[in-house]
Amino acid sequence: MNDHPLWNLTREALAAIRTHYEPAAEHIAVESGLDGWTWGLLLAALTFEPETASAARLQVRMPYMAAHPYLTRLIAAAEKGYLAEVAPGEYRLTDWGRAETQHFIEEVRAAMAEADPLPLADSERLANLLDRLVQTSLTTLPSPKAWSVSLSYKLMPAASPPLPYVEQAISCLAAYRDDAHLAAWQPSGLSATALEALTFLWRGEAASLDTLYERLAFRGHPRQMYAQALAELRERGLIEGPDSAPWVTEAGQAFRDQVEADTDRYFFTPWACLDDGEKTELADLLARLRDGLKESAA
């Protein structure tokens, strides 16, 4: 099987796993009074240790987000005792917050383990194949920098039961995909908001400044930030036209196509650690896992 469809299948399996642990995660979120995004930040804070959690550190993996949505949630978690502010804008998990975060992890992983539809030997084999991809990704340097995947790897559980291990291994690969994407475009010097604006125009998902702002309002940036992003893209010759109807130039198309090609090249290089037979085996196991989870959730 080719790497692209195999990765798509891997993501489909992860989505199927998510349907089985989401009720446990949502229950904890409701009881805590913190939303799911904030719980994600608590998990991130755990991986940052011994460093602090801050908006700036959270933006390393996701530079498209404004700082204040992160900071607002860090403050909310601190107000409830999960985090302590140790310097302006810098937070650490409290002892209680760390224990509660570990409890969150244990609860969602228990739900995963209970839902595993594969025979134990097959589930263990799937975990082994995915682990080989993760281990090779961790050591495939210098491009991309393995920052996100290294942090995600800190959350790897014990190998038994295997499905939580499978889930975290796939999460590690998704983190490495983010590393690969950052490595593909950041050397250009383009701002994160300009790159994302170009991506939405390139994909045909926005056709004006107004629609761009509407689609990306969740990022927390003001409308003016995207007006500046379009101006930056025009200055680089990547788009032309007014804010009401910008279009991607030939140079912009070539640039964004190259970003995608470089992302794939970086991301899939470690996948050569599996031979064709092992990739076929991996595809079969992932498909059976996905289908089995979907059937049991129906």
For residue 297, give Cα distances in angstroms to 123, 162, 180, 256.
18, 19, 33, 39
Cα–Cα dist 171/150, whole Å: 11
Q: What are 53's strand-pairing partners? A: 91
The closest of 130, 100, 158 to 13, measured between CA atoms, is 130
Q: Which residues contact 2 (CB under 8 A, 6 or more apart)?
A: none
Q: What is the dihedral of CA 3, 8, 10, 15, to 10 degrees?
A: 170
List beta partners, residue 248.
Answer: 239
Residue 16: Cβ-neighbour burial (10 angstroms; 0-12, 13-18, 19+): buried
Question: CA nearest 216: which of 234, 232, 235, 230?
Answer: 230
CA distance 270 to 129: 12
Instruction: Give the model's pLDDT for residue 143.
Output: 79
Name the residue with tokens 């290089």: 269
pLDDT of residue 298: 77
The amino acid present at 45, given as its one-letter code, is A
The answer to whether residues 168 and 157 touch, using CB atoms and an 8 Å cutoff, is yes
pLDDT on residue 145: 84
Report how far apart, in Å, the C-alpha atoms of 45 and of each of 151, 179, 219, 284 are. 10, 18, 20, 35
Residue 11's CB: how many other CB atoms inside 10 A? 15
User: Does residue 246 have a cis bond before it (omega within 30 degrees)?
Assistant: no
Question: Which pLDDT value is given to residue 1?
Answer: 74
Predicted pLDDT of residue 273:
97
Instruction: Give the count of beta carbons closer than 10 Å to the beta carbon of residue 73.
Output: 21
Q: What is the pLDDT of residue 297?
A: 84
- In a 13 Å sphere around the CA of 242, the CA atoms on its Cβ side amount to 1
Kindly report the number of other CB atoms within 10 A of residue 142's CB atom.
7
Per-residue pLDDT tens digits of the chain, which is 298 residues long: 799 999 999 999 999 999 999 999 999 999 999 999 999 999 999 999 999 999 999 999 999 999 999 999 999 999 999 999 999 999 999 999 999 999 999 999 999 999 999 999 999 999 999 999 999 999 987 778 889 999 999 999 999 999 999 999 999 999 999 999 999 999 999 999 999 999 999 999 999 999 999 999 999 999 999 999 999 999 999 999 999 999 999 999 999 999 999 999 999 999 999 999 999 999 999 999 999 999 998 7
What is the DSSP-derived secondary structure letter of residue 240? E
The DSSP code for 87 is E
First and final C-alpha spacing in the chain: 28
Q: How far apart are CA 63 and CA 82, in angstroms?
A: 25
What pLDDT is recorded for position 141?
Answer: 78
